[in-house]
Homo-oligomer: A and B are copies of this chain.
Amino acid sequence: MPAREFAIGFDADDTLWRNEDLFATMHARFGALLARYHDAATVERELLATELRNLGPYGYGVKSFTLSAIETAIHLSARQISADEIQHLLDLGRAMLDHPVELLDGAAETLAALSAAGAHRLLLITKGDLRDQQSKLARSGLAAHFHHVEILADKHGPAYADLLRRHAILPENFLMVGNSLKSDILPVLALGGAGAHVPYHLLWAHERTAETPRAADRFFELKSLRDLPAVVAEWGAATQKKINRSRKP
């Protein structure tokens, strides 16, 4: 079986570059703007509830967040919020889109090493807003390492299954790397693929899950992306062993 049939998928936000910090900062500024109407906990709870309620029609990303923030501000201020304050929310959203891309520790070196080794197809698999994700990838300096870029509306089992089918990748030859057990790891393990979880210090409430991965030989917990090449080697050896075993009479 040629080595090129093995593929590694990378999540982007909070796996390759910072993202949730920006949203956390925006939530704090939003709380400050609404402080004369409600306490911080109420504002935070209402904003999150609006974001989740709007995921269906709006999807993920900064534009959706900005629209949800405006809606929440109008609601929590009993329609007293001023045009100036709404303009401030628009400006905050624009600042998020324009914010420099800050790579996480080890992202550039690890991708460069795996790309130079050439043993795996490297895919960027992210969700959210097309324009914003493409812009961040372009500014990240990492684009040249990826054979394919997939920006999905959502990252669930059927979306991964469809993606692997389109790229003619067998699930057992696929390793997904990401910070979200819910979006990056569990759906891939369920398909028979492998997952490398690199936690980030912040996780959006919507990405939390009580489920724990149950696939001892296909699930890897990493402290940093710098540990990934060793995990890839371990996974490759284990997969090769399984292939050899299945070929025995």
Nearest CB to that of A96 among chain B residues?
B57
Inside 8 A of A58's CB, which chain B residues have their CB?
63, 97, 131
The answer to whether B90 touches A59, judged by C-beta atoms less than 8 angstroms apart, is no
Partner pick for A130 among B71, B86, B151, B166, CB 8 A cutoff: B151
Q: Which of A8-16, A24-32, A72-80, A235-243 contacts B (4 or more CB under 8 A)?
A: A72-80
The answer to whether B83 touches A79, judged by C-beta atoms less than 8 angstroms apart, is yes
A94 to chain B, nearest CB (A): 6
Main secondary structure on A side of the interface with B: helix
Inside 8 A of A71's CB, which chain B residues have their CB?
87, 90
Partner pick for A87 among B74, B134, B166, CB 8 A cutoff: B74
Q: How far is the CA of A94 from the CA of B53 in the complex (A)?
A: 13
A32 to chain B, nearest CB (A): 18
The answer to whether A87 touches B83, judged by C-beta atoms less than 8 angstroms apart, is no
The answer to whether B82 touches A87, judged by C-beta atoms less than 8 angstroms apart, is no
When each residue 111-135 of chain A gets 1 if its CB lies under 8 Å from chain B and 0 otherwise, what string results? Answer: 0000000000000000001111010
